[in-house]
Amino acid sequence: MDNRTMARLLEETADLLEIDGGDSFRVRGYRRAAEAAEQTTVDLTVAAAEVTRLLEIPGIGKSMAANLQAIVQTGTLPLREELLARYGAGLLELLKLPGMGPKTIALFWDAAKIANIDQLAEALEAGRLAGLPRMGPKQLDKLRKAVEDYRRSAGRFRIDAAEEEAHRIADYLLAFPAAAGARIDTVTPAGSLRRGRETVGDLDLLVTGPACAAANTAAAVEYVAAYPGIHDIIAKGENKVSFHVEGGLQVDVRLLPTASYGAALQYFTGSKAHNVALRQRALRMGYTLNEWALAQLEDGSTVASATEEEIYAALGMEWMPPELRENLGEIERSARGELPQLICPGDIRGDVHMHTTASDGRNSIREMADGALACGYRYIAITDHSKALAMTGGLDEKRALEQIKRVREVDREMEGRIRVFTGIEVDILGDGALDLDNEVLAQMDVVIASVHSRFEQSREEMTARVLRAIENPYVRILGHPTGRLLLRREPFAIDLGAVLRRAAELGLAVEHNAAPERLDLCDRDLRLAKELGCRVAMSSDSHDARNLGKMGYGMRQLRRAWLAPEDVVSTLGPDEFLAALRARP
């Protein structure tokens, strides 16, 4: 149990209570408490031991303090369980669909007793929702697409969610009591997570240490099976435990002898296509390769097994970063000693997409600058939203000019420790016009142009819209170019090749938005950008100073795309970065 999980339980209770027609004041209380649990730096599992510590947290009153204590003690909330028993857990799935808030779900429940995705799909197909309030033909079409998208992504989990779960399980496993047999030394994620895939279907964890020796595995297996986050156990064997955690993610924990660690790590990391190609290479060389060892085909004697480096070397290859193992030419390049020098986290010098309290961020300009300084960055750009996004408090021309002054004041306050550039994330309107006057944009160091609306436009309309926008001479970066939200919204239709080609001609950079809910451009599109000579700017799109250090998720996508430091303008120093962007008129 951690703060984020507790916040989710409170938020789900608020949603269920609103669906149930509960008192709005009570619903808001749960939502405030969920936000407080998400944002506080206090460890709530520790604070729950003393109610006065919980009451010191803004947004937590006596009743919510009692709820937090109940979560720590039982793993859930009585009200949540009561409402789930009444309506079914399928409502929580419905809430994941775009446009499906508690009020819409309540409407569908009252009208047709719809309580899960399958029932919604059936009602849409039968036309039973036509005529309901706010359910015109366009809205029903959007719901149909949302159901299709959800079903396509069902069973997938974002990389950040999988990584957080991996950390929780690893912390638990590394605390294996020595008295139970012997210690656990390492817990290593493999599979899609190690390769940096943007979403994962399951989580593979490889465990080594004395506890994994044959004489000790029984105690270690029982310890794994007692992990508090388990929802249900799928299988339990001599050296493997498979289970689901809350939320549905499948986890496979394998206890390995140290001698086979390298072979297992290679086997359970590589994509299926990479492993098949590698096994074929091994066979041509007279070897057999599996999760236990690289061995002689003739007599089964072990050639290499303890480390990945030994295995690849025995196959006449360089060791390769996990992100490359997708059978996209890496095996041949490795055999020739021609693997690329991939970009690394330490190469990034700045972050030029972030939001402050001037629009929809949580921190001031100075707080964002201090946070970026703590991350080791040499420069940032403050890029709040423009006025079209009224829900975010976007800036009009007057407020944008005032923001420029405030940013420059903070830049002076930082006294050269970090550069703070002026900027804006200006909205690309439906016809491709920009949301602020050129006279204002001309005064900005970094102008990012992004699409935030009218996602339903045709491929031709969207392409023309974006092409018109990037012709504006003050636009220097195209923001999150496909508009996708992972597992929530598919990319909008666009001729991305045409856009990237024109951006390269104009000297415009395209953003790789490293926020784990976006990761836009994806690895495939990043490769296309490189092929077309289009420079990439990686940024966090942070709305909270605590997210400034999370660009590692984006870094993995850059590496999966085989990008080198010279392909990414964010590796440049502050003056060189501005010079690398499209020249201003």
Mean pLDDT of 148-155: 72
Task: Determine, yes or no, domain membership for 309.
Answer: yes
Record the tokens describing residue 286, joined without a space. 């007279």
Provide the mean pLDDT of the chain. 93
**Position 432 pLDDT exceeds 80:** yes
Examine residue 140 and state whether it is found in any structural domain, yes or no: no
- The answer to whether the beta carbons of residues 145 and 98 sit under 8 Å apart is no
Angle at 428 between CA 424 and CA 432, to 5 degrees: 140
CATH number of the domain where residue 373 is located: 3.20.20.140
Judgement on whether residues 362 and 318 belong to the same structural domain of the protein = no
Q: Is the predicted pLDDT of residue 32 greater than 80, yes or no?
A: yes
Q: In the structure, what pLDDT confidence band is assigned to residue 522 with cuts at 50, 70 and 90?
A: very high
As a whole number, mean pLDDT of residues 452-462 equals 94
Which of the listed residues 303, 335, 367 is the one where a domain comes to its end? Answer: 335
pLDDT tens for 306-336 read 999 999 999 999 999 999 999 989 999 999 9
* Structural domain contains residue 235: yes
Residues 396 and 539 in one domain: yes
Per-residue pLDDT averaged across 364-386, rounded?
A: 97
Distance, CA of 11 to chain centre: 20
Residue 149 has pLDDT above 80, yes or no: no
At residue 380, the pLDDT reads 98
558 and 440 belong to one structural domain: yes
Whether the per-residue pLDDT at 262 is higher than 90: the answer is yes
Query: Tell me, what's the pLDDT at 283?
Result: 97
State mean pLDDT over 559-573.
97
Question: Are 243 and 370 in a shared domain?
Answer: no
Give ∠ CA 267-269-272 in degrees, rounded to 5.
Answer: 70
With a cut of 90, say whether residue 40 has pLDDT above it.
no
Say whether both 268 and 222 belong to one domain.
Answer: no
In three-state form (DSSP H/G/I as H, E/B as E, the rest C), the secondary structure along 497-538 is HHHHHHHHHHCCEEEEECCCCCCECCHHHHHHHHHCCCCEEE
Place of tokens 């420029």: 404
Q: Residue 471 belongs to what domain range?
A: 345-580
Q: What is the pLDDT of residue 176?
A: 93
User: What average pLDDT does the segment 51-79 reach?
Assistant: 90
**352 contacts 383 by C-beta, under 8 angstroms:** yes
The pLDDT > 70 percentage for the chain reads 99
Q: Which domain CATH number covers 193? A: 3.30.460.10
Are 543 and 514 in a shared domain? yes
Res 153 pLDDT > 70: no
Task: Tell whether omega for the bond before 508 is within 30 degrees of 0, i.e. cis.
Answer: no
Contact 209, 178 (CB under 8 A): no
Query: pLDDT tens digits, residue range 107-133?
Result: 889 888 988 888 898 888 888 888 888
CATH code: domain of residue 295: 3.30.210.10
- Report yes or no on 368 lying in a domain: yes
97 assigned to some structural domain: no
If one counts the domains in the chain, the total is: 4
Long-range pairs, 267-273, Cβ under 8 A, ≥24: 267/291, 268/190, 268/191, 268/204, 268/206, 269/190, 269/191, 269/194, 269/195, 269/322, 269/325, 270/195, 270/325, 271/195, 271/325, 271/326, 271/327, 273/326, 273/327
Tally of CB atoms within 10 A around 239: 16
What does the pLDDT read at residue 128?
A: 84
Q: 251 with 266, same domain?
A: no
> What tokens appear for 129 in the block?
């929702």
Residues 252 and 274 in one domain: no
Same domain, 40 and 27: yes
Percent of the chain surpassing pLDDT 90: 72
Give residue 361's pLDDT band: very low, low, confident or very high (50, 70, 90): very high
- Asked which of 285, 300, 335 is the last residue of a domain, the reply is 335
Helix (H) / strand (E) containing 435: none
- Which tops the pLDDT comparison, 311 or 91? 311
Please say if the pLDDT value at position 156 is more than 90.
Answer: no
| End position of a domain, from candidates 87, 106, 122 | 87
Q: Average of pLDDT values for 166-191?
A: 91
- What is the model's pLDDT at position 42? 80
Residue 132 lies in a domain: no
- Would 62 be classed as within a structural domain? yes
**305 and 212 in one domain?**
no
CB distance 232 to 243 below 8 Å: yes
Check whether 41 has a pLDDT greater than 80: no
